[in-house]
Structure 1
């Protein structure tokens, strides 16, 4: 997968795509050969059907914020080997301003993962510690809670007409995300930047390899979640001693 293949395969107009970032395990250095390509695409309106932010909130990626995301436009294309997250520029800028970790990660991916960058969205973005605290805690807790739910059969929802069977493998990945969010939050509060995208990789491997149920998973990694949450709070408190805002490095 490369930029030209992306444009051709999904019918994206190169004149409308502004920024393209390879994120997830391939940017974090923990991908296997068969791992998905997770891509964030910032592009102008191409006439497709756009959606608001409710799905991203429900899935634990951004806190609900109607004022910030009024008129937001995003789309998603999921295939076996590619997860494509598409945002109009104003929507992606709003996500950066709301300190959504999935958006902030794009600013710090290694150069080979920055497939296209024609629109500078960082600008004079300032890290607001209260906003960061809200975003990090929301995503970490939401992913941990969803991890617990995925160990059980879930009732039909939306267009699904049948119960959703348990998915322990996905549940473990979500728990690893929760731990990663807290580590990324700590880095941002302390350094004003994500200084090590790979910081969670060893722990992620341990979480994914845990073959017990929810009780065993949470008993083993719940204390680490609590420790990381406390470390994030300490980093925020230390930063707040110098003001409620800091430049994004």
Structure 2
């Protein structure tokens, strides 16, 4: 390893869902800057004795970069531990752009995003054959605006599988936008999952017609995903992949008449 700084995706919550490569990096770190408001703090148990830890929840960008710069110059190995996978709402671009200015080399080690952990926890597949073959990952506009062409009303017109981050506190607005202007029907299955794969995970299962009220009753206001689409329903179709009548590079078909 020729890097003094590694960005590591912490996984969706369960401390064992960090990748093996991420675990090895974390175990060898001299300094860890972790997203304290979002990651499972039990991950810090993997750190060696003497590892210095910084909670980035109390730091701004300049402070984070300053800690990295000083420790890299001191030949200390730094791990920047971020929630889920940092490629989705991870604010990683602004960090690596600053490191580029300082000529600090780094590596990126992906993690298990919460939308993947949520699907496994719910025992669902986003891409059910003939039901949905696309997945939209998005968020409601907030302090960080969303481009107008990516608003929920426009995406809802596709009526495909959707995962909505960072929006459960605005769930009434979300439902209104998803069901207007030719979007989803009010009968579309919808699930809110709080802290997917954590020990205190909580699921609220319903339809767009009642999910807002159910979520309020469950007192879920943050750290949750909104999943919408018919992939959550009972209807499904088998794929062709394991169909006995389907041939591909590795297998010949076996029809009933064979």
Which bin holds the TM-score, normalised by the shorter protein?
A: under 0.3
- TM-score of the pair, normalised by structure 1: 0.23
Task: Provide the TM-score with structure 2 as the length reference.
Answer: 0.22
- Higher strand proportion, which one? 2
Pick the structure with more helix per residue.
1
Larger Rg: 2
